[in-house]
Structure 1
Amino acid sequence: MPNLTDLNVTYFNAKKAHEYDNPSTLAVTKIVAGKILQLPTGSASRVVETDKNLYEQYSEDSVDLNEAFTKVDKFWESKSISLLDFACGTGLISENLAPYCESILGLDISQAMVDKFNHKFQTLNVPIEKAHAEHVDLRSETEPSDRVVGKYDVAVCSMAYHHMTDVDFITKKLKDCLKSSGRLYVVDFLKGAGSFHENMPAEFCTEHGIGHPNGFTQQELIQCFEIAGFEDVVVSDGFQIKVWVDEEKYHKSTSNPNPEVKQLTKDKVVYAVKIGLIIASGRKPQ
């Protein structure tokens, strides 16, 4: 049976890369990037409360993709950060974090995603030394290479941990890529708060390389970071995003019998799905 790496390479092909930058992923990534920038890294509490009702709720059609971020955490204020975007996809997170970075390296196991990342930044006239992506499997025993070990102020992995089996292993690998006092940020589904995958059959998750379809609890991510040797670990208490999907994906994603429906055109109807997300961050010791 193919391993998750092979399955993910197959799934995230050229067709998927071409379709990836759709309204849903653009809006979700904009919100996620803002949450990364605003997560208080100096918090005395491990769990950062962001809303009295536990979840801040967003809808993709209420997100201004051009709006500037505000109240950025002091960790990002220098705007001179070297960023490693792991499982970078088409570069959506990198695109949003770029104003705060001196340089960006994206890594992905999908050559199609890497090609889309590089084409995007070339189209934006960003020099290759400022931002580019490479086709690398960081999960192999031979990586990371000396070229990336200890080189980055920040490593970020958005919406990819649930596609992996051994998240403890990859968290240690990402720590190796960081400079002393560098920070890792991981964004993924908050277990029990809604996921595109939690109601999908096991066969679907296997075929699509999904190792953790339900996502992660706060304690699971805290433990993962601490096992890897991170300090000052902090997690958000969760936030919720409402995205619009077609009928087939709606029924695969949720068992809610009373969907919220929006008629886009005479022939196109979309359905609301709420997904709960969490952000975790930790500091590599000096």
Structure 2
Amino acid sequence: MSDNTETNRSHWNEAASTYNSKFSKTIQQIINEIQKRKDWIGVDWVEDNSDDEDEFSPSKKPVRLLDYACGTGLVSRGLAPYVTQCVGIDISEGMVNEYNASVQNQGIPTSEMYAMLGNLLDASNPNPTTLSGPEFYDFDIAVVGLGFHHFDDPALAAKRLAERLKKGGVFMIVDFMPHAHFHGHDGHDHPAKKTVTHMGFSDEEVKKVFEGAGVGGGFEYVVLGKGVVFEDKEKGTKMERSVFMARGSKL
């Protein structure tokens, strides 16, 4: 495990229990942006039949989501109405526990949504045993929500996740546009600064990564609204970021 991986794991374990409450407004804002662009994402979704008693009928066509670096489940929550299964993976035990506790509290069966502890980005172990079964392949969509800037090697991340997609499947990331610093309005460093390896990504950078991973089909990069604010009132930090979504299909 690299030093950066261990730093991320330790930080997000510590932050997990209060993450949803601290950043609830920001999380909901991003969920809304994802759902608003459901058609743009380009997956053949199931219909949102939230009032249908047969919503999870076995006859419903499978549409499977891989939510990598899932955290507490932001992406899964955003796309759950349109898929039949959400599978989250994260290196933080704390985040995985929060994700699964939320699923349990909502009465959602684990066959439809669950998170696993795991790391697909270890250069020395490209296919860890716990994530090597067929249930961890052939996804219709794989998403990294606000995690790409924490990865040592984003190009490797894209390649590893592309391997988990079915042909024609969609790869998508939600992340920050390029920025020059990682501190709040008061000049103090944001608590998550130590986990960051990339100060955002431009359209050109992301397109190159997607094409290199074989998921550049129909590539698009869009900026979300007016950006988002991450505010931690306890620590007195407030950080504004411009956010983008990028999508491409596996060729």
| Residues 1:188 and 2:175 are matched in the alignment | yes
Choose which of 6, 28, 37 in structure 2 pairs with 1:39. Answer: 37
Choose which of 77, 82, 95 in structure 2 pairs with 1:113. Answer: 95
2-structure distance, mates of 1:34, 1:195: 25
Q: Which amino acid aligns with 2:247?
A: S
Choose which of 180, 190, 196 in structure 2 pairs with 1:210. Answer: 196
Residues 23/133 of structure 1: CA separation in 2 closer, same or farther (3 Å cut): same
Residues 146/2 of structure 1: CA separation in 2 closer, same or farther (3 Å cut): closer
Report deviation, 1:4.
1.1
Report deviation, 1:78.
2.3
* Contact preservation (8 Å) 2:43, 2:169: no
Of structures 1 and 2, the larger Rg is shown by 1
Residues 102/195 of structure 1: CA separation in 2 closer, same or farther (3 Å cut): farther
Give the equivalent residue in structure 1 for 2:247. Answer: 281
Give the superposed CA RMSD.
3.0
2-structure distance, mates of 1:117, 1:223: 32
* Contact preservation (8 Å) 2:22, 2:231: no
Residues 203/188 of structure 1: CA separation in 2 closer, same or farther (3 Å cut): closer
Please state whether the residue corresponding to 2:143 is helix, strand or coil: strand
| Residues 1:237 and 2:223 are matched in the alignment | yes
| Unmatched 5+ stretches in structure 2 | 48-61
Choose which of 54, 72, 78 in structure 1 pairs with 2:46. Answer: 78
* Contact preservation (8 Å) 2:22, 2:232: no
Give the equivalent residue in structure 1 for 2:126. Answer: 142
* Contact preservation (8 Å) 1:184, 1:281: yes
* Contact preservation (8 Å) 2:31, 2:74: no
| Residues 1:166 and 2:153 are matched in the alignment | yes
Give the equivalent residue in structure 2 for 1:156. Answer: 143
Residues 166/11 of structure 1: CA separation in 2 closer, same or farther (3 Å cut): same
C-alpha distance after superposition, 1:76-100 (max 9, x if no partner)? 5424521111011111321232111
Q: Between the two proteins, what is the percent identity of the paired residues? A: 26
Please state whether the residue corresponding to 2:84 is helix, strand or coil: strand
C-alpha distance after superposition, 1:134-157 (max 9, x if no partner)? 101111233262435542101111
Which gives a bigger RCO, structure 1 or 2 (Cα 8 Å, sep 6+)? 1
* Contact preservation (8 Å) 1:149, 1:178: no
Residues 247/121 of structure 1: CA separation in 2 closer, same or farther (3 Å cut): closer
* Contact preservation (8 Å) 1:109, 1:137: yes
Please state whether the residue corresponding to 2:244 is helix, strand or coil: strand
Please state whether the residue corresponding to 1:133 is helix, strand or coil: strand
Choose which of 147, 172, 176 in structure 1 pairs with 2:163. Answer: 176
1-structure distance, mates of 2:88, 2:78: 13
Give the equivalent residue in structure 1 for 2:73. Answer: 91
Between 1:221-230 and 1:189-198, the stretch displaced more is 189-198
Please state whether the residue corresponding to 1:22 is helix, strand or coil: helix
* Contact preservation (8 Å) 2:33, 2:224: no
Report deviation, 1:32.
2.2
Report deviation, 1:204.
7.5
Q: Which amino acid aligns with 2:21?
A: N
Please state whether the residue corresponding to 1:132 is helix, strand or coil: strand
| Unmatched 5+ stretches in structure 1 | 43-72, 251-271
Q: Which amino acid aligns with 1:242?
A: V
